[in-house]
Amino acid sequence: MGSTGFSEESLRGKLAKLTNQQDSIQTLTAWILHHHEHHQAIVQSWHKEVRKESSQHRIITLLYLANDVVQNCRKRYPNIRDSFGQSIESAMRHASRIPGPELQRCMERLINIWKEREVFAPNTLKRFEEAIGKRKPLPLNASLTPSTSKFPDSIRVISPADEYNWEAMANNANEVLESLRKLMDPASADGEIRHRISTYPEAIANPALLTDIRYEQQADALLEKNGEANPIVRDYCRRLGEEVLERRNLQKLLDSLLSNLRIAVDYQEKVLRDIKRKEDRLKKDREETQKAFDSLPDLNAEAPMNDVPLPSLERLFDLDVVAD
C-alpha cells in the first residue's frame, strides 16, 4: 500500500526542525519508516542536508538520525539501509573536513556500533573508516614488497602517504561530475518559465499597486491570476532553492578536489624526486663498476711476444719427461 502525505518539502521541514533529543530523532525515524517507499528521495534529502552543513553539532544530529533509521529498518526495510549506506560514506567524508573532535568521535563510535551489530557489510564499514581518515599511517618510502637488491638504495615501490588516497580522490571527482550534471539545466536558466512568470500582473508581487483596483471584477480577475501563478512561482522558487544548495555543494566539492589535487601533486613530486635520486645512484654505481672493470689487467697485452704453443696433453702428463 502506498504511503500518503509525503513530499520532499515536508521532509526538509522536518530535518530543519530535528534536534538531538531522543524523542525528536525517534519521531522522525518513525515517519521515515512509514514512508519507506520514498527511501531514495529521503536519503537524497538527508545527504543534501549534511553536505550543506558546517556545524559539527548539526551534522552529529543528522548522523544520529541515520543511525536510528538503519538500525530500525534493516529487518523490515533493508532497502532503506542500503540507500543510506551509499550516502553515509560521502557524508562522513564531508564531515571529516569539519573541525571538531566531538564529530570525529561520533563517527568512530557509530562505525564501531555498526560493526558490532553487523548493520553494514565489512567492505562498507571499511569505506566508512577510510572516509573519516581512520587508517594506519604508511611512511612515504615504505616498500610494498621486501627489497632483494644488493644495493642499499635500490628502487622500491613507493606507497602513498597517509593523506593521499586514490579512492577518495576518485570519489571526489565523481561527485563533482555528478553535481555538474545536475546543474547542466539549472532553474535559473529556464527562460520559458521566467517569461511566463513575467506575464502575470505586477500587482501580484507588489501590494502597493492594489490601490489601483476600483471594481470587484478587477479584484476577481487579479485573484484568478494569483491562484494560477501561485503554484508556478512556488515550484520555481523550490527549484531555485535546490539549485542554490547544489551550487554550494559544488563549491565545497571543488574546494575539496583542489585540495586533493594539491596533495596529489605534492606526492607525485616526492615520488619523482625519490626516483631521480635513485636513478642518480644507479648511474653512479654503474660508473664505478665500469671504472673497476677498466682497471682490470689486459691479459692479451701482457702475453709474451713469441707465441709459444702449449704442450700437448701426452707431454703434459708424461712423468718420465717431467722427471728428466
Rounded Cα distance between 196 and 193, Å, is 5
- Stretch 244-248: mean pLDDT, rounded? 86
Rounded Cα distance between 304 and 289, Å, is 29
* Cell numbers given for 2: 502506498
Instruction: Report pLDDT for 226.
Output: 79
Rounded Cα distance between 24 and 36, Å, is 18
Instruction: Report pLDDT for 317.
Output: 63
- Taking 50 as the threshold, does the pLDDT of residue 159 lie above it? no
Per-residue pLDDT band at 305 (split at 50, 70, 90):
low
Rounded Cα distance between 153 and 160, Å, is 19
- Stretch 7-14: mean pLDDT, rounded? 89
- DSSP SS3 for 119: coil
User: Which structural domains are found in the chain, ordered by start?
Assistant: 9-131 (1.25.40.90), 166-294 (no CATH)
Exposed (0-12), middle (13-18) or buried (19+): which is 251, by Cβ within 10 Å? Answer: exposed
Vertex 37 angle, CA 34 and 43, to 5°: 90
Per-residue pLDDT band at 113 (split at 50, 70, 90):
very high
0.85 cut: is pTM over it? no
- Taking 90 as the threshold, does the pLDDT of residue 63 lie above it? yes
Vertex 245 angle, CA 243 and 251, to 5°: 100
* Cell numbers given for 85: 549506506
More confident residue, 158 or 233: 233
Work out the mean pLDDT of the chain and round it to a whole number. Answer: 78
Question: What's the one-letter identity of residue 222?
Answer: L
Exposed (0-12), middle (13-18) or buried (19+): which is 93, by Cβ within 10 Å? Answer: buried
Rounded Cα distance between 126 and 134, Å, is 9
Rounded Cα distance between 220 and 243, Å, is 35
* pLDDT above 70 coverage of the chain, percent: 79
Exposed (0-12), middle (13-18) or buried (19+): which is 243, by Cβ within 10 Å? Answer: middle
Q: What is the largest CA-CA distance in the chain?
A: 153
Per-residue pLDDT band at 135 (split at 50, 70, 90):
very low
More confident residue, 286 or 155: 286
More confident residue, 43 or 201: 43
More confident residue, 62 or 215: 62
Measured torsion, CA atoms of residues 29, 30, 33, 39, in degrees rounded to the nearest 10? -40
Vertex 12 angle, CA 42 and 50, to 5°: 75
- Stretch 118-129: mean pLDDT, rounded? 91
Instruction: Report pLDDT for 157.
Output: 31
pLDDT digits (tens, 9 = 90+) for 185-235: 888 888 888 888 888 777 777 667 677 777 777 777 778 887 888 888 888
**Cα Rg of the chain, angstroms:** 37
